[in-house]
Amino acid sequence: MIVCKTPFRVSLFGGGTDFPEFYNYHEGMVIGGSINKFCFITIRDLPKFHKHKYEVHYSKIEKQNSVNKIKHPVIRACYKIYNIMPYINLIYDADMPAKSGLGTSSSFTVSLIKSIHKYKNKKINKKTLLKKSIYLEREYLKESVGCQDQTLAVHGGFNLIKFSRKKIKVRKIRISKKTLKILENNLFLVYTDNSRYASKIEKKKINQIQNKKKYYFEILKIVKEALNILEKNKKIDLIGNLLDKYWKIKKNLSNNVADKRINILYEKGIKSGALGGKLLGAGGGGFMLFYCPKQNHKRFKKKMNKHHITNFNFTNEGSTIIHSS
């Protein structure tokens, strides 16, 4: 039996610049971190007295006799690529819902590839795991996704990620433990009660990148401002103000990023004491991230009590095999 634990992520600044369609021509940068919310994949042998040869548990249960009949696209793709033989059982579980802006799809992909390698007694390092995960999503499945989610799932940590045509470079944000704790305590995930398919939204963004480059360059400026605040021990509440500025720019990238309902929720958060925030991931639904200073916590939680609020911490854990027998 193999069990793999892989973190989800919260991205603060730089989303969009992690698309090869942008960073192959201009350097991309993202500030974000893996969080203490995880997905788990369990792989074990399937007893051969079953009538089926492949069993898959996620939001559905599939029992198939052929890899080609597996409906889950990522599982089907991985089983094909890595030549998975019959009589295998896969179970997926997670702390957070899918299609929520937390990089859940990429964390699943990373976890599955790592699990399969362990199941087949093959070693895989972080560089190769990242490369294979991006290839599967972007090239094999033709998904319109960026590369920050896979990077944070593989490496873990609160990081600055630089993207270029030649390589993806990851380094830890040089932030004191005290400042990081304050940042974590002031960040709140608010669920919009609506999920969405990120790839469909991102595809429209990708098609407009060349026409909207000025907004991506503005986003890069904000990343640099945020990095300066975090690493120069400046007033951490400035991150809230930058999130507000970033959100207004992000909405210009596509008409699908925010609808009336999401804009109303954002304004409610600001009126409840938050300094700024943004919708995580592609947009359209999922979780909204708010930065609220400590003195406004009580008011924020009271005013937003009709919505599901989740606290979290950043973690240094990347994708890890936690059991092998």
pLDDT tens digits, residue range 259-309?
A: 888 999 999 999 999 999 999 975 667 899 999 999 999 999 999 999 999
Predicted pLDDT at 197? 53
Predicted pLDDT at 14? 96
98: confidence class by pLDDT, cuts 50, 70, 90 = confident
Higher model confidence: residue 291 or residue 98?
291
Mean pLDDT of 220-246: 96
Predicted pLDDT at 201? 59
Q: Degrees (nearest 5) of the Cα angle 55, 130, 218?
A: 125
Token pair 């699990």 in the structure block, residue:
115
pLDDT beyond 60 at 184? yes
Treating both helix axes as pointing N-terminal to C-terminal, what angle do 104-119 and 126-134 enclose, rounded to 10 degrees?
120
196: confidence class by pLDDT, cuts 50, 70, 90 = very low
Cβ 114 vs Cβ 124: under 8 Å: yes
199: confidence class by pLDDT, cuts 50, 70, 90 = low
pLDDT beyond 70 at 204? no
Q: Please enumerate in sequence order all residues whose Cβ is within 8 A of that of 128, keeping only pairs 6 or more positions apart, or say none.
A: none
- Is residue 324 classed as helix, strand or coil in its secondary structure? strand
pLDDT beyond 70 at 189? yes
What CA–CA distances, in Å, run from 40 to 7, 96, 152, 264?
A: 9, 11, 16, 34
- The Cα 209–Cα 17 span in angstroms is 10
| Of the candidate ranges 147-151, 185-189, 306-310, 317-321, the one whose mean pLDDT is the lowest | 306-310
- Is residue 226 classed as helix, strand or coil in its secondary structure? helix
Domain ranges of the chain: 2-173, 177-310
Give the largest CA-CA distance in the chain.
63
User: Among residues of the chain, what percentage have pLDDT more than 70?
Assistant: 95
> pLDDT per residue over 58-97, tens digit each?
999 999 999 999 999 999 999 999 999 999 999 999 999 8
Report the CATH fold assignment for 177-310.
Alpha-Beta Plaits (3.30.70)
195: confidence class by pLDDT, cuts 50, 70, 90 = low
> Which secondary structure element, helix H or strand E, spans residue 119, and what is its range?
helix 104-119
Smallest Cα–Cα separation from 79: which of 125, 38, 34, 46?
46
Predicted pLDDT at 203? 67
Q: Please enumerate in sequence order all residues whose Cβ is within 8 A of that of 135, keeping only pairs 6 or more positions apart, or say none.
A: none
Treating both helix axes as pointing N-terminal to C-terminal, what angle do 213-231 and 238-250 enclose, rounded to 10 degrees?
170
Smallest Cα–Cα separation from 114: which of 59, 221, 40?
40
Six-digit token pair at 65?
A: 């006799």
**Identical fold at 2-173 and 177-310?**
no
The number of residues in the chain equals: 325
Q: What is the average pLDDT score of the chain?
A: 93
* Beta partners for residue 29, in sequence order: 162
Give the β-pairing of 88-94 and 158-163.
unpaired
Mean pLDDT of 183-188: 97
- The Cα 285–Cα 193 span in angstroms is 7
Output b/e per residue, 150-160; b: 16+ Cβ within 10 A: bbbbbbbbbbb
Token pair 């030549």 in the structure block, residue:
83
210: confidence class by pLDDT, cuts 50, 70, 90 = confident
Cβ 201 vs Cβ 257: under 8 Å: yes
Which CATH architecture describes the domain 2-173? 2-Layer Sandwich (3.30)
